[in-house]
Structure 1
Amino acid sequence: RVSAKAPGVFCGFPVFEAVYRLLDEELTCRAMVEEGARVKPGTVVAEVAGEARRILHGERLALNFLGRMSGVASLTRRYVDGMNRPETLLLDTRKTLPLWRSLDRYAVRMGGGHNHRSGLYDMILIKENHITLAGGIRRALEAAQASRPEGVPIEVEVCHLEELEEALEAGAELILLDNFSPAQLRQAVERVAGRARLEASGGITLGNIEEVAASGVDRISIGALTHSAPCLDLSMLIEPLPGLVG
């Protein structure tokens, strides 16, 4: 049996089961709670039945997946709850473990969050370096619009209110406000007045996310959801079937 040793959100059973299926197709796995469910210390979250040697062979790898994914889901849920504003979307970023992006993104969704772009192919994000190389926000945006595949959205990152005005004048429809204070975010929302969607990112913690969300931005993106999430503490204890021990 696998039990939670700390409160959190359960996530990752499909991968947990896949580990054991690869080891031995005779092993049977059962989730004891639903994906995305909140758990308390002592909650039994999963069971594995079969040959003990095979179960122990896969124990660490299976628990690593389960703990990591549950940890990301748990931290995401804390941020979602902390926003206290359902109309604001909480997004992850591309700051994921190498080769883990699809799993991290899945865990964010199980925690109540949403996914930002997967890579360079499904959204164009014009950042500070692009603006510098292009010679300004307008030129960078025009170049992106001229070369983007059909249907791919464009987001422009700005670092202060003057750049926000420049992005609006250039026709940006989605703007990322990088490291704006809550007071600056409120000013930005007032200035934009619905002319573009706004995303806050940078410097956002559990301690200030409610104030950030209350500013009225449409989206909040947080890299810490995936690059700093602690694993959920889980343990596996063997319970021999009656008559097999003694």
Structure 2
Amino acid sequence: MTHSPLPELLVEPLVRAALVEDLGPSGDVTSAAVIPHDLRYSATLNARQDGVISGGQLAELAFRLVDPSLVVKVHRPDGSTVRAGDAVMTIEGAALSILAAERVALNFMGRLSGVATLTARFVAKAQGTDARITCTRKTTPGLRLVEKQAVLHGGGAAHRFGLSDAILIKDNHIAAAGGIAPALRAARTSASHMRRIEIEVDTLAQLDEVLETGGADVVLLDNMTTADLTAAVQRVAEQLVTEASGTMRLDRIAEVAATGVDFISVGALTHSAPVLDLGLDF
């Protein structure tokens, strides 16, 4: 599964900051001490595990920012499924330049490919249903844009990007507003056809109140049992978009998807994804 690359204007500051952090004021002193400055080399970035690739755009940018003369060839673009041993990218040019960008490139690709790979595992569990797997705002500070892109590379769906995207009324909002009905009535004054309202409920009784009050577009069914999720979908009867959230472990996804919910949001996609093992070999 492939997606258009992100605008370079948005991701270049992330890569540049990572390079500055790694190279520091003196650059790669080890390579400079032991490798001839005129040595040219060809390196291959290989997958050492099966998975889904993401972050290749950032890795390629890291090499180009260090040395624009490096020749980067992408063999497995973002969104591609790879097997252990597959060549993902080759980089040709000054050995010193390749090594200077190596760790930043691998850090981005390993992290983001891990997110894409975990997402693909969740998506596979929901196959045969209409449920879509989506992420949350539980992302690494500063990396939300690329982590959410990695979810898309893994076959997941987009959720709101931040607090300004949509109105999502959660339990603390309900408590502060004085209840579900006043919270929905107040939210309706700020909503429009471009800004939807989602409200979180923990019980079927709360869901009934939402349906009776009206005004919501989406209902977030939080930490419900599978039986309650099934009952909730039946009560909604397609009046609202339904989203299941909370305790959405990989081993539970198939049964949750079978309840008929439209979306299953999983914080673990971004906050607990293991890094995909990738390596750069000379």
TM-score (structure 1 length as normaliser): 0.94
Distance 1:121 1:85 in 2: 33
Aligned-partner Cα distance in 2 for 1:184–1:221: 17
Q: Does 1:236 align with 2:280?
A: yes
Question: Of residues 98, 114, 133 in structure 2, which corresponds to 1:55?
Answer: 98
- Equivalent of 1:131 in 174, 194, 219: 174
SS of 2:189 mapped into structure 1: helix
- Shift, 1:169, TM fit: 1.0
Specify the code of the residue in structure 1 equivalent to 2:229.
Answer: L
Give the ranges of 4+ consecutive aligned residues of structure 1 lying more than 4 Å apart after TM superposition: none
Per the alignment, do residues 82 and 177 of structure 1 end up closer, same or farther by CA in structure 2, a change over 3 Å counting?
same
User: Counterparts of 1:149 and 1:20 in 2: how far apart (Å)?
Assistant: 44
Q: 1:18-75: CA deviations, max 9, x gaps?
A: 1111100001111111321111111111111110011011111110001111110000
- Note if 1:29 corresponds to 2:72: yes
Counterpart of 1:65 in structure 2 is 108
Q: 2:160 aligns with which of 111, 117, 136?
A: 117
Percent identical residues: 47
- C-alpha separation between the residues in 1 aligned to 2:49 and 2:66? 28
Matches within 5 A, 1:46-195: 46-148=89-191, 151-171=194-214, 172-195=216-239
Letter in 2 for 1:225: L
User: 1:85 deviation in Å?
Assistant: 3.2
> Residue type of the partner of 2:264?
I
Q: CA RMSD in A?
A: 1.1
Distance in 2 separating the partners of 1:182 and 1:223: 18
Q: SS where residue 251 of structure 2 aligns?
A: coil
Instruction: Name the structure 2 match of 1:42.
Output: 85
Equivalent residue, structure 2, for 1:209: 253
Distance 1:13 1:190 in 2: 43
Residue 243 of structure 1: aligned partner: none
**Residue segments in structure 2 that go unaligned for 5+ positions in a row:** 1-43
Secondary structure of 1:207's aligned partner: helix
Structure 2 letter corresponding to 1:128: D
Q: CA deviation at 1:150?
A: 5.4
What residue in structure 2 maps to residue 200 of structure 1?
Answer: 244
Partner of 1:241: none
User: What is the aligned length?
Assistant: 238
2:61 and 2:192 map into 1 onto residues whose CA distance is 36
Q: Which moved more, 1:123-132 or 1:186-195?
A: 186-195
**Structure 1 residues 125 and 230, CA, compared in 2 at 3 Å: closer, same or farther?**
same
Task: Write the distance in 1 (CA, Å) between the matches of 2:153 and 2:77.
Answer: 10
Partner deviation per Cα, 1:100-145 (whole Å, 9 max, x = no partner): 0100011000000011101111111000000001111110011111
The separation in 2 between residues aligned to 1:180 and 1:25, in whole angstroms, is 53
TM-superposition CA deviations, 1:165-192 (whole Å, max 9, x none): 0111111221000011111100111111
1:75-101 deviation digits (Å, cap 9, x = unpaired): 000000011235211111111000001
